Amino acid sequence: MENEERTALNTFWHNLRAVPVDLYRAMFRGGAPVTDRTRSSFVFGNVFLHLHSVRTHLWSLRWSATMGLGIITTAAFLITLVTGVLLMFYYKPYPDVAYHSIKDIHFIVPTGRFIRNIHRWAANVMVVAVILHMARAFYTASYRKPREFNWLIGWGLLVTTLALSFTGYLLPWDQLAYWAITIGANIAQSPREITDAMGITEWMDIGGLQREILLGSDIVGEESLIRFYLLHVMILPIVMAMLMAVHFWRIRKDGGLAKPADVNERVSVSQPEHYPVFTEEPKKTYQLAAVVKGRTPAVGSGPENTVPSMPHLFYAELGILMFTTLICVALALVSDAPLKELANPLVPENPAKAPWYFLGLQEIVSFSAFMGGIGIPMLCWIGLGLIPFLDKETEGTGEWFGGPGGRRLALWSMVYGFATSIAVEAFAIRFGWLREWFPDVPQLVITFLNPGTVITALYAGYSIWALRRFNSTRAGALALFTCFLCGFIVLTVIGTYFRGPNWVFFWSPADWKAH
């Protein structure tokens, strides 16, 4: 071999043999993540991973810090993305044809039913996880400076998640879908309740315009289906992906997860078990060069208690991804996504129920279309968005139920939140409401004085009491958020389990009257 001539042909063979190794080296320039340096370059040298910081604080890796809820939401989104693209191979967005294509997916397409079930369950898991994730961020007061903007991005992600679910609900074009969307579209039209009462609908028909843009017609028909399809497979997923990218990026830019001020005293690693833990803040060259704002690291400024994100954080994230997939697959195996009869615009489903997470809304919609469908949800939504700007206290950041009042206040708010909503609902169910007592009562009175608005007002009053009692904006927010969460649960449970045909109260679906 030694005296083998270095001909071009030899070089060619040599290079060809080296292709796999060279390709690997070209892709992973940093080398295997085995040292501090290569673990770092593993993260920042990868366009997807570099949304994470190179090192992660030990506090953030604790199970109780996040419960993995954000990652569960992300994982569920990825699952819906993959299964959704698969379903698009067969789905045809045209009335009646759509229904038959879903039937094909369910009964004929190999694994079609399984994939559709996973898609449906992942969507449900995502809704649950995104709500719990929001609750986690709220209860650990993680929305505070400098994370106000990321709270708002999450606020947008919540709405996008719900919008994705809602638009997906129409696509099967069965009775369930058709009537849920009819109700939804008419909720969009419900500002007419106000404009009618003021007598200005003729000149300023906001409700009618909203419905028309949503449906593309004055009925739920082919135009509506293609619009919902476009929103569901194109517009909303793009919005979602962009917001998610910003959301993750901001976590890193805002200094990782919110942590208590004395976090380093609480998490101190005296004897690192597997891997050395940084005991000094790393030299952040951008800051030293005064390219970006921020504190200049002082040498020897105490332990920072971080570990490399690779493998500590990434393995945790992958574990949660696998866990979420497992949950969705298991649910898909035991429970099929519903498919009722073909949509019939002449006979409504009775009871016509929206997906479960909208049944709380449907419950208050059954008192007033405008207040239940638009007024109160908007109030909650705007209130949620304003939280970081109204509570600027610093006590308790990064801690569960942090702030004045704390765990005790949260507990009492829970009791109050449940008791109030159950009491008002029970009263309305037992004794009826204004229209039953005074048949001639003007609509505007019912719009503004109905069980939904009464519960809202009781919650607001309680929150102001808590705010004054503890002399703290955080206490007010804690009381209000907890109350609304409880109200959401109570109304959702009533709408799901205790409402039957004609939206009449029943103790159990077994008591539903034939209709």
Residues in touch with another protein (CB under 8 A): 179, 182-183, 185-187, 190, 193, 196, 209, 212-213, 216-219, 221-223, 227, 345-352, 362, 365-369, 432, 435-436, 439, 443, 446-447, 450, 501-504, 515
Instruction: Note whether 167 and 175 are within 8 A (CB).
Output: no
The span from the CA of 221 to the CA of 178, in Å, is 9
Minimum separation from the CB atom of position 420 to another protein (A): 21
CB 123, min distance to another protein, A: 24
Other residues' Cβ atoms within 10 Å of the Cβ of residue 101: 21
Contact 163, 130 (CB under 8 A): no
> Cβ contacts of residue 243 below 8 Å, gap of 6+?
153, 156, 157, 160
Residue 167 CB, nearest distance to another protein (Å)? 15
- 274: which residues sit within 8 A by CB, 6+ positions away? none
Which lies closer to another protein via its Cβ, residue 221 or residue 256? 221
CB of 216 to another protein, least distance (A): 5
Q: Which is nearer to another protein, 331 or 352 (CB)?
A: 352
> How far is the C-alpha of 399 from the C-alpha of 95, rounded, in Å?
51
Q: Provide the minimum distance between the beta carbon of 478 and another protein in the complex, in angstroms, as a whole number.
A: 33
CB of 100 to another protein, least distance (A): 21
Residue 139 or 367: the one with the smaller Cβ distance to another protein is 367
Distance between CA 251 and CA 242 in Å, rounded? 15
Smallest distance, another protein to C-beta of residue 385, A: 23
Choose among 308, 286, 283: nearest CA to 298: 283
Is there a contact between 363 and 495 (Cβ–Cβ < 8 Å)? yes
Output Rg (C-alpha) for the chain, integer angstroms: 27
Nearer to another protein, 279 or 350 (CB): 350
On whether the CB atoms of residues 308 and 278 are closer than 8 A, the answer is: no
Structure token digits, residue 21: 């190794």
Residue number, 40 or 450, with CB nearest to another protein: 450
Q: How many C-beta atoms surround the C-beta of residue 307 within 10 A?
A: 22
Positive or negative, the CA dihedral 294, 247, 309, 21 is negative
The residue among 46 and 443 lying less far from another protein, judged by its C-beta, is: 443
d(Cα 467, Cα 404) in Å, to the nearest integer? 10
- 183 contacts: CB under 8 Å, gap ≥ 6: 352, 354, 362, 365
Give the nearer residue to another protein in terms of CB position, either 106 or 435.
Answer: 435
Helix, strand, coil % (nearest 5) of the chain? 65, 0, 35
CB of 24 to another protein, least distance (A): 45
Based on CB atoms, which residue is closest to another protein, 485 or 494? 494
- Shortest reach from residue 38's CB to another protein, in Å: 44
Nearer to another protein, 336 or 436 (CB): 436
Shorter beta-carbon distance to another protein: residue 196 or 281: 196
Token reading at 506: 């029943």
Judge contact between 131 and 158, C-beta under 8 A.
yes
Distance of closest approach, residue 182 Cβ to another protein, in angstroms: 5
